[in-house]
Amino acid sequence: MDLNKLTTGDKVIGISGILLFVFSFFSWLGAKVELKGVGAEASGNAWDFTLTTFAVLLGIALVVLIALKAFGVELPTLGSVTWGQIVLGVAGLIALLILIKLIAGPNIDTGGFGGVDVSKTRKIGIFLGFLASLGLVAGAYLNFQGEKSSA
């Protein structure tokens, strides 16, 4: 493995992807439900929600792509589409998926009961995960700009 083969953008993507994976085990979203004075509270990590699970898996795929580059694996040419464009699109999708879940919060089904008070909470994990996804976008953008200038 030769880290000198990696660009600054590759290193940012690698570090951000690893951080996204680590942060995926933190508590991301929670909910507190109260019914007539009796309450319950629960929280989940990124692996408990479909959008965030998909985002973390895509982040792992980007880290694998960077690892392949570090090991000297030659990626196939894709015609008119470059790897920089694909990585930038995937990184943007990761950030968008996490942002959607950050805004929407957890999906809570009250089972049709009236008088149920539900409060959704965002935990530290989703904010750290979103920051890591922005790091993926920044690294991908650096690579994209590097491709444009070398072409």
Tell me the pLDDT tens digit for each residue of 40-95. 788 899 999 999 999 999 999 999 999 999 988 888 888 889 899 999 999 999 99
The predicted pLDDT at position 3 comes to 75
The conformation of residue 6, written as its DSSP 8-state character, comes to S
> Side chain identity at 139, as an amino acid letter?
G
Q: What is the pTM of this model?
A: 0.88
- Residue 33's φ and ψ, nearest 5 degrees, are -120, 130
Task: Tokens for 34, please give them.
Answer: 């109260």
Residue 110 lies in a domain: no
Residue 21 lies in a domain: yes
Query: Would you give the distance in Å from CA 140 to the centre of its chain?
Result: 13
- Is residue 96 domain-resident? yes
d(CA 124, CA 148): 36
68 found inside a domain: yes
H helix count then E strand count, the chain? 4, 3
Q: Residue 101: give the domain boundaries.
A: 3-32+40-105+117-150
Domain count, the chain: 1
Assigned domain for 45 exists: yes
